[in-house]
Amino acid sequence: MTSAGSDDTPQEPGSDKTGSDGSGSGSADTASGDGRHGSEPRLSPALIATLVAIPVMVIAGFIAYAALRSDPTNPVESYTAEETASKECAALLEKAPETFEGYGAKEISENRASWPAQGSGDDILLRCGVARPAELAPDSRLQLVQASGHRGVQWFITDTVEGSGQAYVAVDHRPYVALWVPSTAGNAPITDISGVIDETLARGPLDLGR
């Protein structure tokens, strides 16, 4: 007698449900697992090269910036020279102060004198015999600097470098004289040098390019 709820139907050989289901399930799991493994994201060679190159470029940029900062320059270096040598320039450089506070002893080379900074920052630079500033015009603002006991010198500001200093050209004496004053040097350099210019160089008319 067959009891209700039981399945006594004969099964064909090799058609074991449990084995078939288990085999099917295993195949599905294997396929699923292989699919997950094969779908893992992989970085392309181009992307890897880019990720490696970015930090290298940043480091190279910092090195270049540091190299430029370690060799500071100022605009006066590039001014056109009008006279290669003159007795007036030689006398001016000879009488210029030997030193300024915070700077080393005066160094003379051709028509220029410099005072090396005793630390970070630019040197003070004085150049004699530069060309008349092309920007000098009737509406240009001039700065009169008077040393004690002198008439004074009119300076034209030719360049300002933020956080570094200012460049001036004395425009009422001949030859023209350019001066670079670092922002940390104070007023002593331009004041003292103005006195030496008054004592050494002849006065000349203001050439405002009219």
91 and 130 in a common domain: yes
120 and 94 in a common domain: yes
93 and 193 in a common domain: yes
On whether residue 105 sits in a domain, the answer given is yes
On whether residue 28 sits in a domain, the answer given is no
90 and 193 in a common domain: yes
On whether residue 161 sits in a domain, the answer given is yes
With bands split at pLDDT 50, 70 and 90, how would you rate the model's confidence at 144? very high
120 and 66 in a common domain: no
Tell me which residue of 123, 118, 198 sits closest to 167, measured CA to CA: 123
pLDDT of residue 22: 45
Range of the domain at 55: 44-72
Q: Which residues contact 202 (CB under 8 A, 6 or more apart)?
A: 88, 173, 174
pLDDT tens digit string along 165-175?
999 999 999 99
131 and 79 in a common domain: yes
pLDDT tens digit string along 8-51?
444 444 444 444 444 444 444 444 444 444 555 666 766 666 66
- pTM score, whole prediction: 0.66
131 and 100 in a common domain: yes
> Domain tally for the chain?
2
pLDDT tens digit string along 63-104?
443 333 334 568 999 999 986 668 999 999 999 999 999 999
